[in-house]
Structures are given as C-alpha cells and as structure tokens.
C-alpha cells in the first residue's frame, strides 16, 4: 500500500507543479499582451505602464481571455488601429508559448 500512496503523492505534486506553472505562464502572457497592445496603441510612459498593469492583472480564465480580446479590439478600434479579434487571439497564443518558455526557464 505504501508504494501506491507514494505514487499518488508524486502524481499530485506533479499536477500541482504543472498548474502553478500554467498560472504563472498565463499571468506572464497577460503582461506580454499588455506590452504588445500598449506599443500598438502608441502608449508610452505612465500611460503605457497603467495599461500594461490593467491587462496584466486580468484574471486568468477562458471567459477573461474573451473579455481581453473584446477589450483590446475595442481599444484598437477607438484608436484607429485595425486588428481583428482573430489576430488578437493569434497574438495571445503566440505570447502564451513565449510565456511558457520564460516560466520554464525562469527568464522573467
């Protein structure tokens, strides 16, 4: 029975580690997304920092992702920048891959 319990405990630790890494990667992705969007919008200085923080602090969930897509799309439209929702989703996916690498290698 001890071997089974040890394996179960190890599986739980791996799961917890993976979930923590996923959460950190999503938080990092949101910060990268905020930096990208602020640059697209031409924001600099404190305005850019505030925008990056607003996007970066968004909760990490599927519903929130769609909310971020809608917010960014509206912000782009309001500033005369053409970005489709699909382009924004593609950028989010690209930045998620970057964030996963950064979290795994702890380069941020």
User: Which has more pLDDT, 65 or 93?
Assistant: 93
| Domain annotation for the chain: domains and CATH numbers | 2-105 (1.10.790.20)
Confidence category of residue 65, pLDDT binned at 50, 70, 90: confident
Spatial neighbors of 63 by CB under 8 A, at least 6 apart, are: none
Spatial neighbors of 92 by CB under 8 A, at least 6 apart, are: 29, 33, 65, 68, 69
Spatial neighbors of 102 by CB under 8 A, at least 6 apart, are: 25, 28, 108
Confidence category of residue 84, pLDDT binned at 50, 70, 90: very high
Query: In this model, does residue 24 exceed pLDDT 70?
Result: yes
Query: In this model, does residue 79 exceed pLDDT 90?
Result: yes
């Amino acid at each position: 029975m001890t071997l089974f319990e040890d394996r179960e405990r190890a599986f739980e630790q791996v799961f917890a580690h993976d979930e923590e890494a996923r959460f950190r990667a999503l938080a990092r992705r949101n910060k990268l997304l905020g930096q990208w969007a602020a640059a697209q919008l031409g924001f600099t200085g404190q305005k850019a920092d505030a925008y990056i923080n607003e996007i970066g602090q968004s909760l990490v969930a599927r519903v929130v992702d769609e909310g971020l897509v809608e917010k960014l799309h509206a912000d782009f439209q309001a500033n005369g920048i053409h970005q489709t929702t699909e382009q924004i989703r593609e950028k989010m996916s690209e930045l998620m891959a970057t964030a996963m690498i950064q979290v795994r290698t702890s380069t941020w």
